[in-house]
Amino acid sequence: MTPEDRALIMVYTSVKDRLAMGMVEYIEAVKDWEVIPLTESGRVIGGVLQKNNEIHVGYGVKPKVSIRGYIRSILGGVIDKHGFAVTQIREENHAGLRFCERLGFVKLSAQNGTILLRCDRSNYA
């Protein structure tokens, strides 16, 4: 199994309770997304999914130290290329929302229990 495969499984596991699909359907739905493994001490602990200017972060193992700097470097590359990045998060995911806000994302809208967030150079932390 590749690090990307491990990362994708961990991202799915972190959101499966909020999705109306199984792992096979999820893997099919994100097959054209880039999977960037998040590692700590040489082992995969989660991943970042990226497609164009949209990113999503998920963990299978809680990091022992902050990896915001690593995620910020990925986010900075997205902003450099596209001018801004977007993500979506469920309203009930308060910890995830705080994490996004610490990265510099701001709320654009909320609809049907999902918040759309945007991060650009002006508010990038």
Q: pLDDT tens, 73-121?
A: 888 888 999 999 999 999 998 988 998 998 899 999 999 999 999 999 7
Cβ atoms of 95 and 77 closer than 8 Å: no
C-alpha closest to that of 101 among 124, 71, 75: 124
pLDDT score for 75? 86
> 117: which strand partners?
87, 107
| 50-53 LR contacts (CB < 8 Å, sep 24+) | 50/74, 50/78, 52/82, 53/78, 53/81, 53/82, 53/83, 53/84, 53/85, 53/86
pTM summary value: 0.84
pLDDT score for 55? 94
* 5 band by pLDDT with thresholds 50, 70 and 90: very high
CA-to-CA distance for 6 and 112, rounded, in angstroms? 31
